[in-house]
Structures are given as structure tokens and as C-alpha cells.
Amino acid sequence: MMTLVAVAITVAYVYSVAIVLGLEGMDFFWELATLILIMLLGHWIEMKSIMSASKELELLVQLMPSEAHLVHGDHIMDVKTDSLKAGDIILVKPGEKIAADGIINEGKSFLNESMLTGESKPTEKDKGDKVIAGSINGEGSLKIQVSHGTKDSYLSQVIKLVQDAQDAKSKTQLLADQAAKWLTIIALLSGTATFIVWLLLGKDLAFAMERMVTVIVICCPHALGLAVPLVVARSTAISAQSGLLIKDRTAFENSRKISMVVFDKTGTLTKGEFNVVRYESLDGKSNKEQVLQLAAVLEQNSEHPIATGIVRKAKGLNLPSPKMSDFKAITGKGIEATVDGNSIRVVSPGYLKENNIAVEQAPSSNAETVVFVLFNNTVMGIIALADEIRPESAEAITVLHSQNIKSLLLTGDNKEVAKVVSESLGMDGFIAEVLPHQKLEKIKELQQQGNFVAMTGDGVNDAPALAQADVGIAVGSGSDIAAETADIVLVNSNPKDVANLILFGKATYRKMIQNLVWATGYNVIALPLAAGVLYNAGIMLSPAMGAVLMSVSTIVVALNARMLKV
């Protein structure tokens, strides 16, 4: 980009020196000094704009504190963050930033992870929970066992992904680079042609030289060369702050072409965990809280997802937990134990059928998993659990439909569950009972039907489909950050982020096109004016004015890039 500036200054200076040494004509020293001054001023403003566009990345880097409080025996010492290693115990005081990824050993607090995940609501963290380096601690004091060194932390991976994406050149960037190259050639040829034409028209050497220098200066492709990089720098860093990590810039720009988004179900559209959706008493003697309470007492000894859901619900209602004894599993059918001298069982519908135990119950959805609570071999009540649909899922599908983008559910779950989820969200269809390797074939079929497909999955069992899709989107928190097959990683398992990604991709591409149109359109008008086509109308541009216009065009491009928002 500096080639034309160097040529213009060199030509003007050499010519002016020749005038001083005896060549007839008028020197350009005043114009040359003004040109250099304006060029430097414009370059300074341009650099300020570039630095400003990359400021978001600097904010990510600054999230990592420089020092940590290392617990060493019975005393605490301050050490450099980059010296921490796996197994170290660090103390995080109220209001401080977490110095390393790790697991809470002691303490309880709320953490602000908004700069890392885009989640504005503080997250409650207790003993055993994972924490991310760069998070801001609330009012509690925490002792954290470090999981790995700083260079392997989640934040470091985010920063590297952002830097790699900013450095990578997409097709749009390559197009701009080619245009800048050709503009440089055109400017040199046009400057030479302008010089020759004015001499042939009878103008003196000084006039022809001034026109040539003005043409070369005004065509400097600064604006064209920065049109895309400034948008890239801003969009990539802003995306990272919003929980959208771009690994492939071309795929991100291609998100504007998406005509169909294929969603995995578990953990994407649903929460990926069983939650109690209803519980009832069926014996007419006990209340429904007693049904849940007794089930939770037995299930607290089990790691099964159903057990976890029942225990979580009981804890949420602060139900007391009486003592039990003689706990044992009923293979494949449930569990039993003695509570306060009574035989309590939590069993499946299959157990009731096998033992000819009749029960009247409210009809349940095919998407629900039902267990029964037996009190002394009599059905006491029922608990229904389901993998709850995320509240953001419906909004995500609505936004996609508003953009004329179809949504399809692709899951290994049974057809009844898939139908319930698909219909409740208003999706365009579902494909159920599909194994991981079969998902790839389904994506191929959709592509062959003319769809530009984005696949959204967890980045592990959906890896083949993510690789096959036109845009692969992996969802999941820090541990899934390195989903190798995905083009884009969503830090939060939030389906709404998929819609936000597509909208932001479109906005980013619009900014790139706006900048390219401005940068090329400016030169189409500026070059003839610099050459002197309106000389007879009394309109002439000096080299200094050419430098002003060139700098202004660059600043317009920079300001337009700064206006990009999520």
C-alpha cells in the first residue's frame, strides 16, 4: 500500500531538486512538505482506527491476571500466573479474577463469565465445580485446584483461535488483496499516462508532474487494503466475547448462505439432563411431596440420570431426607430400601406389568420417562421426567424462520420423542433413530437436494456430520473448545446463538461489501479528478488535497468497520 506513496514523494522530491540545480520550472517543496505532513497525519489516524478495531482482543488478553495467590503449605505466596502448573492450589479473593482453569476445592461464590461465554447472568459455583481462567469472582473466597498451565487454559485457546482467525484470509480478503494489487498497477500506469497527455497538450513540465503525483497519491489503495481486515479484526474479537469462536473465516462468511440448519437434540435443543416435569400421589392418602421425598431418599445412592433428576428436584424444594436401610437394586427394573420400617420401591412400568400390579394414571407424553413409587407393595405415586427443551430453542427457530431458513431435527432418539420436540418448537421436520455415522449420509442427502446446510452438534458423536456440513457448528462449554471438525464453536450450549451467528455473519459480510464498494467507488471518481478531467471547469486537485481525500477514504472504511455490532 505504501508503494504509490513512495513513488509520488520520490518523483516530487527528485524533480524539485532538479529545479534547484538549474532545470527550468517550479519546484514542489512546499507541496511535498504538505503532502508528507498530511500523509503522516492520515496514517496516524488509520493506525488508531486499526488499533481500536483490535481492542476487543486486547481486552481478552487482559482478562488473565498477571499474578496468583499460591497456597503453599500453611502460607500463601504471590506468584506469576504463567508459573502455575496442574495440581497447584490457588486462593481467589472476592472481586479478583480467576488465574487458571480448575476445580473448586473450597468455598462458594458467584462468577461473572460474561467476557468469556457471553452469558451476562453471574453463575453460582460450589465445591467440585469447574471454573474458567479470566472469570471475575463475586463476594465469596475460593480455593481452586489448577487443572493445567496457563498456555493450555480455555482463555488462552480462545485468544489463539481469535488471532488465527484474524490472520487467516478468506476469499473476500483475497479478492480485496487482488483488487489492491491491480489498483496499484492502474495508478502507476494512469499517472504516467496523465503526465504524457498533459505534455502533449502543451502544458509545462511542472503542471504535468503535479497531475501525475496527484493521481498516484489519490489512488493509494489504503482503504481497499483495509476494507476487509478491519471488519475481520472487529467481528472475530466481538464474536469471541459473545461466545462465538470462529475457527474458519470462510465458513463464517458463508453462514449468510445457509438455507437449512440441522440440529442435534440432546444438549442442543434440550438441556441434556432428565428433570422432573410432574409428580403425583395415586393412593389418595399421601401428598405428592411425600412421593418425591421417598423416591429421592432411595435415588441418592444412584448415579443414573433419572436418579439425578429426582434428587435435584427434591433438593430444590428443600425436602427432608429420612434415613434408610437395606438398599438394593432390582436388576433392570428399579431400586428398593427400607425407610422408617416401611418397604419403599422406585420401579419402572415394566416392574408393575411383571408383578401384575394394576394402576390408574394420567396419560403421559411419549417424551416422558415414568417411574412409580411403591409403599409396602402398593402404588403410592408417580414421577415423570423428561429431557426439558431449552427455553431459548423456540426463539432460535422463530428467528431462523424469519430469515427464511429451515430447521430440521436429526437425532438418535426414538421417533415419538423427536416428534414431540420438533412439533413443540415448530420445526420443519425431524429425522430420528439415526446412528452417528448415518448422520453424515443424511447431511449429504440434504445437500444433494440443493440445501446449504449448517450442522449443529456437540462436536463428538456428531463429528462426521459436522465435517460434512457446509458450516459445522459445535456447541458446548470449555471442554469442547477443541472440537476439531467444527468451523465455529459456540461456548454456550444455547440454540439461540446459532441464530445470532447467522445474523452476525450476514452483518459482517454486509460491512465487508460496503467497505469494498466504497473503496473501489472512491477511486473510480477520484482518479479522473486527480488527472484533471475538469480542468476546463476550473476544478483542480493539488497533491496535498489528493492526500487528504485518500486519508478520508481510509478513515470512512475504518469508522464503518467500527459500527459493526453483534
Dihedral in degrees, nearest 10, Cα atoms 510, 516, 517, 522? 150
Give the SS3 label for residue 194: helix
Query: Which of 82, 129, 248, 264 is flagged as catalytic?
Result: 264
Q: How many CB atoms lie within 10 A of CB 290?
A: 17
* Whole-number Å distance between alpha carbons of 275 and 272: 9
- HSE at residue 188, side-chain half, CA atoms within 13 A, is 12
Residue with cell 487458571: 100
Q: Are 110 and 66 in contact (CB under 8 A)?
A: no
Integer angstrom CA distances of residue 494 from 10, 175, 388, 506 = 57, 34, 13, 20
Strand 142-146 versus strand 334-339 pairing type: unpaired
Strand 89-92 versus strand 142-146 pairing type: antiparallel
Find the distance separating the first CA and the last CA of the chain, reported in whole Å.
30
Q: How many CB atoms lie within 10 A of CB 564?
A: 18
Integer angstrom CA distances of residue 130 from 66, 104, 156, 494 = 21, 7, 16, 19
* Whole-number Å distance between alpha carbons of 118 and 45: 31
To the query of whether residue 264 is one of the catalytic residues in this protein, the response is: yes
Integer-rounded Cα Rg, in Å, for the chain is 33
Nearest to 251 by CA among 60, 509, 536, 566: 509
Integer angstrom CA distances of residue 301 from 33, 369, 434 = 83, 20, 33
| Furthest CA-CA distance within the chain | 119
Contacts of 54 (CB under 8 A, 6+ apart): 166, 233, 234, 237
Residue count (the chain): 566
Q: Are 558 and 511 in contact (CB under 8 A)?
A: no
Q: Are 125 and 110 in contact (CB under 8 A)?
A: yes
Give the SS3 label for residue 72: strand
Walk across the sheet containing 471-475 and list its strands.
Answer: 244-246, 488-490, 471-475, 453-457, 260-263, 406-410, 430-431
* Strands in 4-135 per DSSP E: 67-72, 75-80, 89-92, 102-106, 109-112, 123-125, 130-131
Catalytic center residues: 264
